[in-house]
Amino acid sequence: MPNRIHVLPDHVANQIAAGEVVQRPASAVKELLENAIDAGSTQIELIIKDGGKTLIQVVDNGSGMSGEDALLCFRRHATSKISGAEDLFRIRTKGFRGEALASIAAIAQVELTTRTADARLATRIRIAGDQVQAREEAVAPEGTSLSVKNLFFNIPARRNFLKSAKVEFRHVLEEFQRVALAHPGVGFRMIHNESEVHHLPASKLRQRIDYLFGNRMHDRLVPITEETQLAAIGGFVVKPEFAKKSRGEQYFFVNDRFIKSPYLHHAVMAAFEGLLKPDTVPGYFLYLDVPPESLDVNIHPTKTEVKFEDEQSLYAILRSAVKHSLGQFSIRPVLDFERDQNLDTPYAFREREVVVPEVSVDRNFNPFSEPQARGGVAPRRNARPAAGWEALYEGLGETPAGEPAQESLEIESGARGGGLLEEGDTLHQDVRGVFQLDRRYIVTRIKSGLLLIDQQRAHQRVLYEQLLENITRQDPVVQTLIFPLVISLNPAERHLLEDLTDALEGMGFRFRLAENGPLEIIGLPALVPEAEAPALVDGLLAGWQQHAGEEGFSQSDRMAKALCKRLAVKPGTALEPSAQLALVNDLFGCRDARMSPFQKPIHMTLPLEELDQKLNTHG
């Protein structure tokens, strides 16, 4: 029987390893930036084209490599970071496996130019598909420049799985931000399609956060500082009032390495208990420094998942540190049971004398006597004595003089109304025919019984169809602002806003976006209150960024759903009777009045027969 097992060629093994290490352009960006950090660089420049699919270039001023090392670094498992198995338990560098450059060279066209401080000339190497094409001397400054062109050029199936250039750029930008946040003392510059995206000078952490996420973050941060024998914790958390419904600015760093840890995230959420609105999560930039021997970073190829030696103690320390800072900076409410401010004397009344109130009592008052018997007061015109509790309901069903008779709205069968009522049902068109229940539901009479409407879902349906109609007609009602609203955006949000321009303008938004300048909103849809516009735009961008790249719905549909969800009236909001009636009428005008845009039922009917049955059963 012939042997079946054989050793794979190096280029095939490297392509298999590339599937784990390099999943998309952002993976290559992460590896190259971390190599530049390990080289001791103080200035790093990232240049990409077409979201990294055409070109990824990292230029640094680090220590560089000799000619022999430059050629050897593309060999699999070649590394300068470790020399033995024991080194895996005291890792302080970013990379250590020696897989990144070998994997990248196996699936792309790579050009490396590097020079050390004591070398007169640099070394230039060209590799394509794991094959060395050229090796020569060149003139270059100290440091390293590594270019990755046409990622997955020799694996068309993998290249076809890449998303659009805009989606890949967002992933690259996310990896760039993670590395820049982990090393605020290093200067970074990022260029995409020959346009500068970031220019970050070496600074402290708070300034680095401002550079990346806009000046609006400066006043939202609460510092965290805690030192124990197990770990040192530093960084910032975002104030609870600025918590978002999407997971946006949430960063954990352990020994200057970005990680993902649901366990530590739960510790932060526990510290914010009682301070957050429902369905919101806080932002944070938290840095943990732990002994290297208590940390295992070798459990995942991307090294974003780590294993702590004592997770439970670290959980308790982190939760306590965040809670302490929130209380120290007066974020967490403090209860004082010894003093009630409501009992304090107002300043204007402190010098006044106490006046004893007087009570006047009419001892001859008789509520059961005729009006003539009460002090001789003449009766009012058309007044009549109350015969009992039945008098409270006399004339309730009569139409007052001078007012039109109460009308009923008949729903025609057709596209409008969405089959909200059964055939023959009528809706009373009067404010006396509707009322609000628990500030959540609107109850109105119909011929067959009672109709209970969820006010939030009904408003979402009304707004959703209005917004879609505005986008389709491209003729929305716009309220022009006398004073523009200025909102600072980070580069990721600016890039995202450019993709959403058509949908936003179709809904009625009008804005100016100057290069490297803030966003100026000069017009709003008629449905959007001016005071809510900044928070609305911020929430739209955050939510859209979270679900970027998802398919299945059009851009207009997703934008309309996001807007109607934020603008709809919330449960617990008191509505005037006229507003309740208007909402019911608008709902009847919708094409689908049964389900909300998020496929939740809007209403239910309580028939008279069911009421009679329940009353007779318990009677």
95 neighbors 46 (Cβ within 8 angstroms): no
Domain ranges of the chain: 10-200, 208-328, 409-619
What predicted TM-score, i.e. pTM, was given to this entire model? Answer: 0.67
CATH of 208-328, one of 2.30.30.30, 3.40.50.150, 3.30.530.20, 3.30.230.10: 3.30.230.10
At 341-397, the pLDDT tens digits run 555 555 555 566 667 777 777 777 777 765 544 444 444 444 444 444 344 344 444
**Helix or strand holding residue 209 (H, E):** helix 205-213
Report residue 454's pLDDT band, with 50, 70 and 90 as the boundaries. Answer: very high
**Rounded mean pLDDT, 79-100:** 57
- Looking at per-residue pLDDT, the higher value among 567 and 421 belongs to 567
pLDDT value for 550: 47
Report residue 129's pLDDT band, with 50, 70 and 90 as the boundaries. Answer: confident
**Rounded mean pLDDT, 387-409:** 45
pLDDT value for 610: 84
**Eight-state DSSP code of residue 545:** H
CATH of 409-619, one of 3.10.310.30, 3.10.580.10, 3.30.1370.100, 2.40.180.10: 3.30.1370.100
> Does residue 599 sit in helix, strand or coil?
coil
pLDDT value for 608: 83
Q: Would you say residue 552 has pLDDT above 80?
A: no
pLDDT value for 415: 46
Strands in 478-580 per DSSP E: 478-487, 510-513, 519-525
**Rounded mean pLDDT, 130-156:** 90
Buried b (16+ CB within 10 A) or exposed e, 123-137: bbbbbbbbeeeeeee
Q: Would you say residue 164 has pLDDT above 70?
A: yes
Which residues on neighbouring strands pair with residue 226, listed in sequence order?
233
User: Dihedral, CA atoms, 3, 7, 9, 15, nearest 10 degrees?
Assistant: 120
Which burial class, exposed, middle or buried, applies to 606 when counting CB atoms under 10 A from its CB (0-12, 13-18, 19+)? Answer: middle
- Looking at per-residue pLDDT, the higher value among 418 and 28 belongs to 28
Q: Would you say residue 333 has pLDDT above 90?
A: no
Q: Would you say residue 10 has pLDDT above 60?
A: yes
pLDDT value for 204: 93
Q: Would you say residue 240 has pLDDT above 70?
A: yes
Which burial class, exposed, middle or buried, applies to 368 when counting CB atoms under 10 A from its CB (0-12, 13-18, 19+)? Answer: exposed
Topology at the third CATH level for domain 10-200: Heat Shock Protein 90 (3.30.565)
At 591-607, the pLDDT tens digits run 888 899 989 999 888 88
Q: Would you say residue 476 has pLDDT above 90?
A: no
What length does the chain have?
A: 619
Which residue do the tokens 């716009």 mark?
478
Q: Would you say residue 317 has pLDDT above 80?
A: yes
**Rounded mean pLDDT, 303-308:** 75
